[in-house]
Amino acid sequence: MIFATETSCDETSCAVYDGKKLRSNVIFSQIEVHKSFGGVIPELASRSHLNKINIVAQQALDQAGVSLADIQVFGVTHKPGLPGSLLIGLCFTKALAWSLNKSIIGVNHLEGHIFSPFIEHKVPFPHLCLTASGGHTSLYLVEGFGDMKLIGKTIDDAAGEAFDKIAKLLGFPYPGGPQIEKHAAELKFQDFYFYPRSMQDADDFSFSGLKTAILYDLVDRKLYDMTTKQLTKACTLEEKNKVASSLLVCIKDIFLQKIRRALKKYPHCKAITFVGGVACNVYIRSALKNFAQEHGLLFFTPSPLLCTDNAGMIAFVTYFKSKQGAFADYYLDIHT
């Protein structure tokens, strides 16, 4: 029986995995804590983890119908993430493992996302995995459990960060991704402004230019005032919807272009997986699914609660790492 903790950013989560299924996956989201700031405030995040971790851990055990004595291996996200947040989960989990004289395994948060589809699906190797969240955007070739090769990653902002920043510019609440999707749906995901599809000839991604391109386009059309740093009255809801819709189509196109490029290099792939918070986006999910079907590939994406940060995915990685004997010692530390 595996118990795992995830506190790398703004979700406090604990889960129990029995080797076959996820017995519990309790997630406390800090969205309400950070909402008024329009983004995650690291100091508030770690304080909130500290307040909630005991409660979340007890709920995870209760929902799984087990006690600490039933746990053989403890897993914890120890990198990458906000240092203060990672430390809360790590110290908590190490203290449990040490006091019970049980094994501990450190899990890379991104590896958690990469293997999250396996919790609900039988995914073949090799496959391409697109990871897109508020902190990361990368494409991997995944050849086995714990065996993945980075094909390309963002050189600046993550895709989710682009959604969050542009949503903030448009005056939508945090987190921006779901808001952009909602407003884009009003206009049936049409492309009005053809924003730049950056770095088309590279494996890496770049999203920071997108915010600048959108900002200058709004300024040119007198929809944004650079002196007051605010949208003007001319920027109607219809106009905001057009920006949201065009942005979403642009990011979808960038994703498809990178996958197309990777498939040329790795034509033996059997499937595409789409993971991380941005994978909650139904429009992008269905575009990637259609693309996979057209190319004779399988497509997998986790249900939304396993897309955003959660300890269930960390418990799953802890399980296969325990089978591989990849145990840490009690000196396990964070890496940011």
| Complex with Zn ion: residue 175 or 243, whichever CB lies closer | 175
* Phi and psi, residue 203, nearest 5°: -80, -30
280 scored as a contact of ligand KG4 (CB under 6 A) = yes
* Phi and psi, residue 247, nearest 5°: -65, -45
Task: State which of positions 297-326 bind ligand KG4 (CB under 6 A).
Answer: 308-309
Tell me the two tokens of residue 74.
């403890």
177 scored as a contact of ligand KG4 (CB under 6 A) = yes
Which position among 39, 178, 196, 209 is part of the footprint of ligand KG4 (CB under 6 A)? 178
Nearest in space to 289 (alpha carbons), one of 303, 274, 276? 274
9 scored as a contact of ligand KG4 (CB under 6 A) = yes
CB count within 10 Å of CB 54 equals 12
Distance, in Å, from the CA atom of 202 to the CA atom of 39, rounded to the nearest integer, reads 29
For residue 108, the minimal CB distance to Zn ion (Å) is 11
CB count within 10 Å of CB 40 equals 20
106 scored as a contact of ligand KG4 (CB under 6 A) = no
309 scored as a contact of Zn ion (CB under 5 A) = yes
Contact 107, 80 (CB under 8 A): no
276 scored as a contact of ligand KG4 (CB under 6 A) = yes
For residue 309, the minimal CB distance to Zn ion (Å) is 4
Please enumerate in sequence order all residues whose Cβ is within 8 A of that of 201, keeping only pairs 6 or more positions apart, or say none.
Answer: none
Task: State which of positions 105-164 bind Zn ion (CB under 5 A).
Answer: 133
The residue ranges that bind ligand KG4 (CB under 6 A) are 9, 133-135, 160, 163-164, 175-178, 181, 276-278, 280-281, 308-309
The residue ranges that bind Zn ion (CB under 5 A) are 133, 309
